[in-house]
Amino acid sequence: MVSELALEIPQRDCNIAIVASEFNRFVVQQLVAGAYDALQRHGVSESDIHLVWVPGAFELPLVADVMAASGRHDAVIALGAVIRGATPHFDFVAGECSRGLAQLALRHSLPVIFGVLTTDDVDQALERAGSGAGNTGFDTAIAALQMISLLDRLETNEEQQ
């Protein structure tokens, strides 16, 4: 019989790393603010949130890997904004960033949350950073907390069997 584990917020202290892209900072700063808001609303103290800025989205996986490998964090949230331009650069940056972050989650068995906006234009990015359809930074922080809780409960269930 398979039991269903609902998504919940952890009932313990959490240490969260946020790795944010400096490129398109006018958008990413809003994502970071949204993530901080969500984490603090759910009991994570500011001293348990560790923010590191990197030059661009392509650099997110490397620094996220260092943060994940440190063993000090319960989750890593990667925030950035890759906005399509007139060249194929967008495809390379967005694809490699996504691939690198996904590999880290599996390698470290740690929630590595993808909060990198990939949009066609600045207006779409700003909308997803809080001016219209919510704030992706807030949403990714909630996802990080839910994944921490889920993994905690899965580990507890494994130990009980």
**16-152 is classed CATH 3.40.50.960:** yes
pLDDT tops 90 at residue 16: yes
As given in the structure block, the two tokens for residue 110 are 């740690």
pLDDT, greater one: 94 or 1: 94
10 Å CB burial of residue 67 (0-12, 13-18, 19+) is: buried
pLDDT score recorded for residue 143: 96
Contact 102, 96 (CB under 8 A): no
Contact 46, 40 (CB under 8 A): yes
pLDDT score recorded for residue 2: 44
Of the pLDDT bands very low, low, confident and very high (cuts 50, 70, 90), residue 121 is very high
Mean pLDDT value of segment 105-128: 96
pLDDT score recorded for residue 6: 63
pLDDT above 70 coverage of the chain, percent: 92
> What is the pTM assigned to this prediction?
0.92
As given in the structure block, the two tokens for residue 155 are 């580990």
Question: Any idea which residues carry the catalytic annotation?
Answer: 89
